[in-house]
Amino acid sequence: MGSIQEKKLIVVSAPSGAGKTTLVSHLLETIPDLAFSVSATTRAPRPGETNGKDYFFITETQFKAAVSTGDLLEWEEVYNGTFYGTLKSEVNRMLNSGFHVVFDVDVVGGLNIKKHFGKRALAIFISPPSVEVLEERLINRRTDQADKIKQRIEKARWELGFAPEFDLNIVNHSLEKAKAEILRNVTEFLNKS
């Protein structure tokens, strides 16, 4: 499988509802030596989410303790009082086990991981076809109340401004085309020495 130095990192960021989780799942189903970096969060689990699989659900006190001890690769208060971050121990565990690591993280976290790992990381931004389409997707997802959707749309407008800072920008017009594009680019990146 190679040494920890040879293993690469794939960072996928997008506004909520742009399709990044679906695209990351596609990569994980298709690329055998790719492992998912489970983020830590202080938000409550959504229906069907499992602790340790979807997220590490921890308290704000536990999260702030991890920040103060330097146990997080990156972290951000994504919404007021809701923190997300990447545990260094998890990333190192996967790299040491011989896996490439894929991250499904917010825009700021994604850029921080890219900065930390440099050329070993491929940072991919998933854009919705438009903010209107994004809003429609969030409404159809039926996981958030109207005020939360409005908050997510406002944040999405801000996040879209970061797209040029990523190595690759994929516009998710068609899920099948986006799946093919991300798989092609990630495979090329992982096979490049």
pLDDT per position as a tens digit, 51-85: 999 899 999 999 999 999 999 999 988 778 899 99
Percent of the chain with pLDDT over 70: 97
Q: What single-letter DSSP state applies at residue 175? A: H
pLDDT per position as a tens digit, 109-119: 899 999 999 99
**Residue 19, Cβ neighbours under 10 Å: how many?**
22
User: Which pLDDT score, from 0 to 100, does residue 147 have?
Assistant: 83
- Domains of the chain, earliest start first: 9-191 (3.40.50.300)
Instruction: Compute the average pLDDT of residues 19-45.
Output: 95
Instruction: Compute the average pLDDT of residues 39-47.
Output: 93
Buried b or exposed e, range 85-104, using 16+ CB within 10 angstroms:
bbbeebbeebbeeebbbbbb
Q: What is the CA radius of gyration of the chain?
A: 16
